[in-house]
Structure 1
Amino acid sequence: MPALSAKVSLNIESSPEALNRIVDAIESISLQEEWPPELLFTMNLVIEELGINIMEYAYGGDSGEAFEIIITSEPSELTVDLVDAGPPFNPLTDAPEPDTEAPMLDRPVGGLGIHLVKSMMDEVDYKRECDRNHLRLVKRREK
């Protein structure tokens, strides 16, 4: 029986090895909270995509910089907060919309990650506060 609420907070150093910590944390909370496999897949995909984006774009691949991921699992929804100290970047307004109608070979490499996140989550919100980017994702759980 899942708990009423569970919360995991990770301080992640920007490095390729950090992805393993993220995946392990998601797996752990998903087992504890009895997430269905499709929810685990969705959350893994979205959090990994955004974690990689933070490492590559906010910090330019610079190892040593850190960001925070907070995962809150409630009976009705999951909330993920990602906080980084990179330059201001609102993925909701600053990331160009990909041309999903163009043939695959004519599309530029990249650019689908944010589109994928927005399409898989129920809510995506951004704010800049205390010189940090705060991205909040909400995924409602099916009844």
Structure 2
Amino acid sequence: MSAQRSLLIATELDELHKVNAAIEELAEEENWSPDVTFQIGLAVEELGVNIVNYGHNDDQTHEIKIVISSEDEAITIEIEDDGHAFNPLLDAPEPDLDAEVEDRTVGGLGIYLVRTMMDEVRYQRQQNKNCLTLVKRRDS
């Protein structure tokens, strides 16, 4: 089994449903488990929302390129955007999971969840673009 979906979406929240639809379609076609499908969908949505909400300081519409590749052993998701340089592996603070709920800052769990749910997360800044690669093993 091997399949791929490529999407180019605008940096608008209502565009993210296109990515979710592609994930659901590929998951069904490639027979992903419900857990793997959920985790990939949540991770990509969290990252997409962050790019839309925090990636740019202007009112221009930018693009996000997403490539989802399904192989026998793993699923790879590549996300590329031209927003501010932001390495979620280094620049996102670790949430204080031991703090009382009312003492926690709002937000900040999305990137933590991505790093926790994915088997690999890699970041590169290339040609003024953030390039994030997520890998999820099909058996995890």
Contact 1:14 1:61 in 2 (8 A): no
> How far apart, in 2, do the equivalents of 1:61 and 1:23 lie?
26
> How far apart, in 2, do the equivalents of 1:19 and 1:80 lie?
15
Q: Deviations over 1:84-115 (max 9, x none)?
A: 00111101001111111101110000011111
> How far apart, in 2, do the equivalents of 1:64 and 1:135 lie?
20
Number of equivalences: 140
Aligned to 1:129: 126
Supply the RMSD in Å over aligned alpha carbons.
1.4
> How far apart, in 1, do the equivalents of 2:130 and 2:49 lie?
15
Given the two structures, how large is their TM-score scaled by the length of structure 1? 0.93
Aligned to 1:119: 116
**What fraction of aligned residue pairs are identical, expressed as a percent?**
46
Q: Deviations over 1:3-39 (max 9, x none)?
A: x211111001011220110111111111110111111
Structure 2 unaligned residues grouped into runs of 5+: none
SS in 1 for 2:85: coil
1:55-134 equivalence runs, <5 A: 55-60=52-57, 62=59, 64-134=61-131
Aligned to 1:45: 42
Question: Does residue 20 of structure 1 match 2:13?
Answer: no
Contact 2:33 2:138 in 1 (8 A): no
Aligned to 2:51: 54
Going from structure 1 to structure 2, the CA distance change for 1:62 and 1:27 (only over 3 Å counts) comes to farther
> How far apart, in 2, do the equivalents of 1:81 and 1:92 lie?
15
Structure 1 unaligned residues grouped into runs of 5+: none
Q: Deviations over 1:45-81 (max 9, x none)?
A: 1110001011111135846211111100001000001
